[in-house]
Amino acid sequence: MALNVVVFVGGVGGAKLAYGLAHILPPENLTIIVNTGDDFWHYGLRVCPDLDTIMYTLSGLVNKTNGWGIDGDTRAVLDAMQRYGEAPWFQLGDQDIATHLLRTQALADGETLTQITTKLNTALGVQHRVLPMTDAPVATMVDTVDQGELAFQTYFVRHRWQPVVKSLRFEGVEAAAVTPEVRAALQSADVILIGPSNPWLSIAPILAVPGMRELILAYDVPRVAVSPIIGGKAVKGPAAKLMVELGYEQTAQAVADYYGEVINGFVVDTVDAGLSLGVQHTANFEIIMNSESDRISVAKNVLQWIQAWV
Ligand code: FO1
């Protein structure tokens, strides 16, 4: 019998592990819980980048060069906006806009983000469960030295994550709650994984949902993170830069320390095999996921290793 696996993810890095897991686990054995701190309102539309990155990756629609958005998407809507003098800084493809329109309408009709996420994924043939971390709106806010406080996508996309970060907060998270769907998934989990997503930008908002940490710690199961830092560098994005700015060492070990009691297992790359990690169970193997077969083998290796110590 396959293990019940729950994996926490953010955007592109996490989507790669989720893709690998979805290849080896049947739909009823995998739940993917996704960060929604990156979500925002844009031109009246509710845009949920990490949820969509997971959905497009698992459905095979994703633009593989970017890791987000839809392959071959056009930009007629954004080009038409430019006629009105708009200078769009956030690339919304025409097909991608269909997703945001339907989600925005469903939310206006009173559906939960969980419900509409399931509908959209099902329509695209994604059978594994994809759940937002919460149904409440949460917005990651980035306080920067040079530009003051910025909304997440303004920091990340508009300013290309160049402003120096002082601190982060998750607006609205105090009023957020763990959904019944997330609770049920965690209650029946045999293994909890944290993908190689940015710990501060992608995983911290999930852990900040009131009750989430307690729920993760309530069961005596393997709780394993895959390092997003390899040889002191981020595989993609601002993780390493952010670590320096927030006062951490740029190492996989600092990631393990940051997760603290949340994890009891940690997977690093072979290049980091020499690090002494203060985690109960550690493993090292190649964790770079460039190709599709890399994603599947990383997922397999992680699960096989965990099965050996449970
Ligand atoms: N990332 C960019 O760097 N530039 C963009 O213009 C951009 C547009 C975009 C549109 C839809 C979507 O689902 C994701 C998009 N992303 C874009 C990615 C996204 O901003 C980030 O990767 C995540 O929020 C971080 O996990």
Output the CA–CA distances (angstroms, integers) from residue 175 to 139, 169, 191, in the order listed. 12, 14, 28
Pocket flag, ligand 1, residue 39 (CB < 6 Å): no
State which ligand 1 atom lies nearest to the alpha carbon of 197: 26
Rounded CA-CA distance 243/249 in Å is 7
Report the SS3 class of residue 65: coil
Pocket flag, ligand 1, residue 137 (CB < 6 Å): no
Report the SS3 class of residue 157: helix
> Which residues does the chain have with pLDDT short of 70?
1
Task: Output the six-digit token pair for 266.
Answer: 């940690």
Rounded CA-CA distance 234/288 in Å is 11
Pairing assessment for the beta strands 229-230 and 233-234 based on DSSP bridges: antiparallel
CA of 12 to the centre of ligand 1 (A): 9
Report the SS3 class of residue 289: coil
Q: Which of 61, 64, 90 to mutate to test the pocket of ligand 1 (most atoms within 8 A of CB)?
A: 90
Q: Give the CA count within 13 Å in the CB-facing half-sphere of 254.
A: 21
Which residues neighbour 106 within 8 Å (Cβ) at sequence distance 6 or greater?
A: 115, 116, 119
Q: CB–CB of 57/19 below 8 Å?
A: yes
Q: CB–CB of 266/227 below 8 Å?
A: yes
CA of 68 to the centre of ligand 1 (A): 6
Report the SS3 class of residue 278: coil
Pocket flag, ligand 1, residue 95 (CB < 6 Å): no
Pairing assessment for the beta strands 45-47 and 148-151 based on DSSP bridges: unpaired
Which is nearest to 16 in space by CA: 291, 304, 245, 210? 291
- Domains of the chain and CATH, by start: 5-38+128-309 (3.40.50.10680)
State which ligand 1 atom lies nearest to the alpha carbon of 90: 6
CA of 11 to the centre of ligand 1 (A): 9
Pocket flag, ligand 1, residue 153 (CB < 6 Å): yes
CA of 306 to the centre of ligand 1 (A): 32
Rounded CA-CA distance 33/209 in Å is 12
Rounded CA-CA distance 55/66 in Å is 14
pTM, full prediction: 0.97
Pocket flag, ligand 1, residue 90 (CB < 6 Å): yes
Return the pLDDT at 174. 98
Report the SS3 class of residue 25: coil
Torsion, Cα 298 300 302 303, to 10 degrees, reads 160
CA of 13 to the centre of ligand 1 (A): 13
Pocket flag, ligand 1, residue 205 (CB < 6 Å): no
Pocket flag, ligand 1, residue 140 (CB < 6 Å): no
Name the DSSP letter for residue 4.
Answer: P
Return the pLDDT at 1. 59
